[in-house]
Chain A
Amino acid sequence: KNQVEQSPQSLIILEGKNCTLQCNYTVSPFSNLRWYKQDTGRGPVSLTIMTFSENTKSNGRYTATLDADTKQSSLHITASQLSDSASYICVVSQTSVRSGGYNKLIFGAGTRLAVHP
């Protein structure tokens, strides 16, 4: 079964601290892995996209890693800010041959991060 599992479910950290969020997946065929940030009441916003051959990708204070062999990914947030409080969603893209090759997204349930002053 195609699944994306994230841990922890929720996390509280103090402003300025670093944190790492985890993602494990069992999706095939794998196309790419994405991390999204979803603020409360808003739609998700893309942070990073990594293909099979990419091990790490950064976007400002966000750094994502991918180990395609173990099917694990992490999102590391450096020097957290209050505005980082949001849900972080790991999304694995599955190439859908049936529908002409579009990338079907399979979403994790997200990690809810709260950054406190």
Chain B
Amino acid sequence: GAGVSQSPSNKVTEKGKDVELRCDPISGHTALYWYRQRLGQGLEFLIYFQGNSAPDKSGLPSDRFSAERTGESVSTLTIQRTQQEDSAVYLCASSLNPPPAGGTDTQYFGPGTRLTVL
């Protein structure tokens, strides 16, 4: 079956422009997560969706960042008025939550979108 997919794979934009990043999770996965990975650094949590609601948005760095999820599948991360500090790889992951009996809530990651803000 298909894994987590993200698009675009690369995005170059000018400072001040808005960008939308898309994530298609594994079919049936109720939980979806967005992370940011700056060059040479660990992943930073941004937001967690359970179904279409976002019970934990604590990682969004500013009000320029927002995300939504529709139909318990696709999610879009939007960054408004991009800044150079937003340059990073944005990773999406999905999991079964709650996990199946005897199973785990392993998060499966997409390949990421590399965002470059000039």
List the interface of chain A (C-beta within 8 A of B): 4, 32, 34, 41-46, 49, 89, 96, 98-100, 102-110
B42 touches A98 (CB 8 A): no
A43 touches B4 (CB 8 A): yes
Find the residue from A100, A102, A104 having the highest chain B CB count within 10 A.
Answer: A102
The chain B residue with its CB closest to the CB of A9 is: B40
The chain B residue with its CB closest to the CB of A93 is: B105
Interface string of B42-74 (1 = CB under 8 A from A): 111100101000011000000000000000000
Main secondary structure of the interface of A (DSSP, over half): strand
A43 touches B104 (CB 8 A): no
The chain B residue with its CB closest to the CB of A103 is: B105
B3 to chain A, nearest CB (A): 9
A43 touches B50 (CB 8 A): no
List the interface of chain B (C-beta within 8 A of A): 4, 31, 33, 35, 40-45, 48, 50, 55-56, 91, 93, 97, 104-112
A108 to chain B, nearest CB (A): 6
Contacting residues, chain B, for A103 (C-beta < 8 A): 105
The chain A residue with its CB closest to the CB of B54 is: A99
B109 touches A43 (CB 8 A): yes
Contact A41-B45, Cβ < 8 Å, known A49-B104, A99-B55, A102-B31: no
Q: A99–B47 Cα gap in the complex (Å)?
A: 11
Q: A43–B95 Cα gap in the complex (Å)?
A: 14
Contacting residues, chain A, for B56 (C-beta < 8 A): 96, 98-99, 102, 104
Contacting residues, chain A, for B40 (C-beta < 8 A): 109
Known A45-B109, A102-B56, A105-B45; further 4 A-B contacts with Cβ < 8 A: A43-B4, A43-B93, A104-B48, A108-B42
Contacting residues, chain B, for A108 (C-beta < 8 A): 42
